[in-house]
Amino acid sequence: MAGLDITGLGAQALTEYAMEESKNASTQAIKSKIQNTSAQSTDSELWEACKSFEAYFLEQMFKEMQKSVDAMKPERGDQSTETLVDYFKDQTLQDLCATSADMQSNGFAAMLYENLKRTYNIPDEQ
C-alpha cells in the first residue's frame, strides 16, 4: 500500500480493500506452492503444499456454507462495521482451517500427497 493515496476513502472502502488483498495473497500463496512442486521437490515440501491446499479447500467450503446462512438473514444497518467483522471472520476462518489441516486432517491432504508423489516420482526423505 506504499504510495497509495487514501485521502477521502472511508473505513468501509479501506476494509474492503484489505479483505480483497488478503484473499488474493492467500490464493497466490497456494498457487505458488502447488506450481513449484516438481521432481526436485522434497517430500516435506510436497506435504506442506498438500496441507496448505487442504486448508484452502476447507476455507472455501466454509465460506460457501456461510453464504447460505447469510442469505437467510434480514438486512442490517451499519455496513462499514459488518465489512470489518467480515474481514476478521475471514482471517479467523483461515487460521482455523490451517490449524485443522495440521492437527486433524480429513485425509484430503494425504490423498493429494500420495497422488502427487507418484506423479512426480518424489523419493522418500532419509
Among 82, 94, 88, 28, which Cα is nearest to 57's?
94
In tens, the pLDDT along 7-55 reads: 555 555 545 655 566 566 666 776 676 666 665 668 888 888 888 888 9
pLDDT in tens, 59-110: 889 888 888 877 777 676 666 677 777 778 888 888 998 898 889 888 888 9
Q: CA 27 to CA 1: how far, in whole Å?
A: 19
CA 52 – CA 31 distance, rounded (Å): 10
CA-closest candidate to residue 26, choices 64, 55, 61: 55
